[in-house]
Amino acid sequence: MAREIYDRSWLAYLLLLPTLVVSAIFLYYPAAQAVNLSLYETLQFGTQRVWTGLGNYSYLLTSSDYHSSIVVTIAFSLIVIVGVMAISLVVSYLIYEVSVGQSSYLIAAIWPYALPPAVAGIVFFYIIHPSLGVLTQPIQAIFGVNIDWFTRGGQAFVVVTVAVIWKQIGYNVIFMIAALNNVPDALGEVADLDGVGRFQRLVRIYMPLISPTLIFLVVMNTIYAFFHTFAFIDILTQGGPGGATNIMIYDLYRNAFEFNNHGLASAQSVILFLVVGVLMYAQLRLSDKYAHYG
């Protein structure tokens, strides 16, 4: 079939116009409004604005509570990204090597991702509830710990982190399985003949070959950890106890909708956007150096 070529640039712009219009209305305009609002202090439930310039940013940079939220967010995001990538890679590799019932294992691995975040949060709430959880008693018996993450910050951080990792594994497994299936079978057969162990085969053969997919997933998991974990925090801990799970996106929500401080919340959203943007840039630059693109 002959490939149709458009030789007029105006036609390309016309085809892109719907996307540009939607992006301008629902992305760029709200972002510009957030930047503008971050320069004001809002009073009387947001009905009045007082110009403060960079006052909101200055307050955040000197706030110990906000510093604590940043530290919690960084620790939370690092553990989530590393945990999701490592567990998903092992699960994907095991499923890839299974010859019987592979579809059943794949469905079992990805079904948590099919749940909406709020539903997944509620499910996990009853799995590990201090008195009602179905896994609470076995965990206490095996590890000898008293589970009470309603009042202990460290336990609350662990519970939220595990729930967030559990939810995201399915998304990663889908992409990793697809990438592994594109690796030529001959490479695995040669590794078998050379007596290469399963772990070494994963690290030295498969990981370099699927590195573009791994880089993509690191970027997506970073966005997930910073922006898409709000429902778990809200349902499980609401930022507590003692701010142990008060990540930046949840702190932003509380300032905007609990304390009606929309100017401060807008400044937090701008800072969060810049932080994630810098991380995205760094990850994509690293991908050019370490990813293998055939």
Going from N- to C-terminal start, the domains of the chain cover 69-290
- Which whole-number Å values give the CA distances from 23 to 26, 226, 276, in the listed order? 5, 21, 19
Give the per-residue pLDDT at 247: 93
* The one-letter amino acid at 51: W
**Distance between CA atoms of residues 132 and 109, nearest Å:** 25
**Maximum Cα–Cα distance for the chain, whole Å?**
74
Backbone angles phi, psi at 196, to 5 degrees: -75, 130
The DSSP code sequence of 123-182 is HHHHHS-TTT-TTHHHHHHHH-----TTT-HHHHHHHHHHHHHHHHHHHHHHHHHHHHHT
**Distance between CA atoms of residues 277 and 283, nearest Å:** 10
Name residues whose C-beta falls within 8 Å of residue 39's C-beta, 6 or more positions apart in sequence.
Answer: 51, 52, 53, 54, 56, 263
Backbone angles phi, psi at 48, to 5 degrees: -125, 150
Which residue has tokens 């539903």?
A: 119
**Distance between CA atoms of residues 252 and 256, nearest Å:** 6
**Distance between CA atoms of residues 187 and 173, nearest Å:** 21
Superfamily of domain 69-290: MetI-like (1.10.3720.10)
Query: What does pTM read for this prediction?
Result: 0.86
CB 251 within 8 A of CB 239: yes
| pLDDT tens over the chain, length 294 residues | 555 666 677 888 888 899 999 999 998 999 999 999 999 988 776 677 888 889 999 999 999 999 999 999 999 999 999 999 999 999 999 999 888 888 899 999 888 888 888 898 898 888 888 888 888 888 888 888 888 888 899 999 999 999 999 999 999 999 999 999 988 888 878 888 888 888 888 888 889 889 889 988 998 999 999 988 999 999 999 988 888 999 999 999 998 888 888 899 999 999 998 988 888 888 778 777 766 666
The DSSP code sequence of 25-52 is IIIIHHHHHHHHHTTEEEETTTTEEEE-
